Structure 1
Amino acid sequence: MSGELFPLPRERAELAPGAWHVPDWLSLDEQRELVVAARTWAAPPAGMRRVVMPSGGVMSVRSVSLGLHWEPYRYTEQLPTGERVKPFPPLLGGLARRAVADVYGSIPTDPYDIGLVNFYDADAKMGLHRDADEDSPAPVVSLSIGDACVFRFGNTETRTRPWTDVELRGGDLVVFGGPSRLAYHGVPKIRPGTGDSATGLTTGRLNITIRASGRPAR
């Protein structure tokens, strides 16, 4: 990270039972590959857009869905505009399986088949929410590229405390399953200008979340 002349090594840490932060999990080459792929995924048709919530509010992050499209609070195979969602990339399935095996020592039975790519600019945030629209209990896999952020990991009962705040940097992995699978989590702050431009992402934060729907294979 910029500004650190002699950065100290960061250790993996358990944020809550079943939830782990693994710093620097992605290599620089893997981050570059994901940035190139994300630009392809974000292009029309069925490209990156801002999700409109049922209340009428518009999310500050821009998102693109892969495999299945997330629309509050359900998954569909088409966007509201009628465009069919882009297919789920094998690249993400491989990363998810590797991440879960690394953290838990085993791979879930349900295949990973949903990707959600979120782009955060300097002012974007993500309120506390649960990933509760899947039929599978398989752990959620989250990858970060670009600017650092404050990641808030809460409890399974309420959006209020207790929670843990941790800084996520480019290349970091978060995996949460088991008793923390339905924990509330969010991003209250981005740290602009802290990303590594060598990834090909010169501004903002890219977050790629990979999930298992639990639906029968289509």
Structure 2
Amino acid sequence: MKKIHIYGAAALIVCLSLAGCSQASTNHQQAEATKAEQAADTNEQSQSIEVDKGLLHTEFTMPASMFKDQDMDSITADAQKSGVDEITKNADGSVTFRMPKAAHKELMKKAGKGMLQAIEDLKSGNYLAFIKDVKHNKAFSEFTFIVDQKAYKNSFDAIANFGIGAAAMSYQAIAGVAPEELKVTINIQAEGTDTIFDSIIYPDALEKMSGK
């Protein structure tokens, strides 16, 4: 079973959005990308996004955990290529990005596409065979994993593989959710039933994994 490192997944979403990484797409993936654009537009209107007082720029802050073991120089260079014109590393390790609103809108669309691709990868069963389906809300703040319950319970590194939680936190941060308000819930549902038998909540799960 291929393991998805939790911080690597978050970095992947940052890469897909800030750096504008691209990959070949099937017709199905293109359809999912269209859904992502529509969801991003809806999310942009419905979420409370923290913006600066200027008329032309938007600011968002990503928590320090998103940059664990990451090369800040590379992240800075990639972010600037995507239109970020100011990056501030805060005392608590979090990083604030400032960019034109038009560029931020495109960033949200790319981040949405990245999230949908990550979800499709999970649903494929190539990473975690016990996952049979994945459901999520538009804000990517709540997920339901439909799983083979027996296989799930026999998987010792199941939670460690849920990189989607860290990735979703990254998406929310880009959307403007304050670091202290970031929260992602992953409900585990037994295949063929309506029974939720486990739940993983981020960032609590990250803190447990790091031994805090």
> Which TM-score tier does this pair reach, normalised by the shorter chain?
under 0.3
TM-score after normalising by structure 1: 0.26
TM-score after normalising by structure 2: 0.27
